[in-house]
Amino acid sequence: MKKSIIVIFALLVFSIQSYSQIKIVTTIPDLKSIAEQIGGERVDAFSIATGYQNPHFVDPKPSYILKLAKADMFITVGLDLEIGWVPPLLNSARNAKIQKGGEGYVDASINIPLLQVPTSVNRGEGDIHIYGNPHYWLDPLNGKIIAQNIYNALARLDPEHQSEFQARLKKFNETIDVKIKEWESKLAKYKNTKVIVYHNEWPYFEQRFGLKIVDFLEPKPGIPPTPSQLAKIIGIMKRENLKIIINSPYFTSEATDLVARNSGGKVVTLATSVGAYPSIKNYFDLFDYNVYQLLSVFQ
Ligand SMILES: [Zn+2]
């Protein structure tokens, strides 16, 4: 008897709580993590992509449509990063609130100082970075802009709790400021270290922490490494005495290992998103992890 009362009470509390929470669906876990930092217990967030998936290519499963149909807010990286999978999901969800222009639609890229914006939009030769480089969340300072965009939407949808969101935003920004100093000072000794990367997804990280990306294993973003590209990279590494190749969790190690073997270099796999590895539970852990990994190959 007592047990069943407890269960009923628990269910009641749970249903009241979930009723009042803002249901958020994000495309990548980094946006989910930041939304949770700003929304606290007022939000119930779900990320479609996992942290070890390539965010350009995600399988749009039917279960995501259900999540989107019930969502109050949808947060996207934008810049066509998710062009292959978000439009079909949003269309099927038929939820006006979270369609582009709806009160719950958040393009996290608003006000981000973009890098590598081409002078003309061109999908030619399979390039998938047509509006500029979309991997902007890999600079923690851009995390503050993302947080502001999410805050604006939360304040709009739930004005009653605006001061709470504002306090959380302030705390998030302060934490970023403190952590950035810590990450920068740890990497300061290795400023301008030249590296090779697999996919062109590190320019924001490079700019913040002073690496020098020399070239990519992909001949163009989204085009898998070709034998001629790999031969070219091996040549550059030998000639310029480069030692470090950066891989991402969702690429096999075949190409990076081949280049390492033939150039005498070392491969380091960095996390591109929250959840890429079990220890990366939030947006701050992402940079803790990557700084630690880089230090271990630089030393
Ligand atoms: Zn990309």
Domain ranges within the chain, ordered by starting residue: 12-109+125-179, 182-298
| Interval between CA 135 and ligand 1 midpoint (Å) | 6
pLDDT of residue 118: 87
What is the C-alpha separation between 138 and 17, in angstroms, rounded? 33
pLDDT of residue 5: 64
| Interval between CA 51 and ligand 1 midpoint (Å) | 14
pTM listed for this prediction: 0.92
| Interval between CA 90 and ligand 1 midpoint (Å) | 21
| Interval between CA 72 and ligand 1 midpoint (Å) | 28
Q: Which CATH superfamily is domain 182-298 in?
A: Nitrogenase molybdenum iron protein domain (3.40.50.1980)
- C-beta atoms surrounding 141 within 10 Å: 16
pLDDT of residue 257: 97
Under-50 pLDDT residues of the chain:
16, 18
Four-residue CA torsion sign, 37, 202, 186, 247: positive
Q: Report the SS3 class of residue 279.
A: coil
| Interval between CA 126 and ligand 1 midpoint (Å) | 12
| Interval between CA 79 and ligand 1 midpoint (Å) | 10
| Interval between CA 128 and ligand 1 midpoint (Å) | 7
Does this chain's domain 12-109+125-179 share its CATH topology with 182-298? yes
**CB contact at 8 A, 134 and 81:** yes
CATH number of 12-109+125-179: 3.40.50.1980
pLDDT of residue 299: 87
pLDDT of residue 13: 55
Q: What Cα–Cα distance (Å) separates residue 189 from each residue in 27, 214, 290?
A: 35, 19, 16
In the chain, the DSSP E strands lie at 22-26, 43-47, 73-76, 105-107, 194-197, 212-216, 244-247, 266-269
| Interval between CA 57 and ligand 1 midpoint (Å) | 10
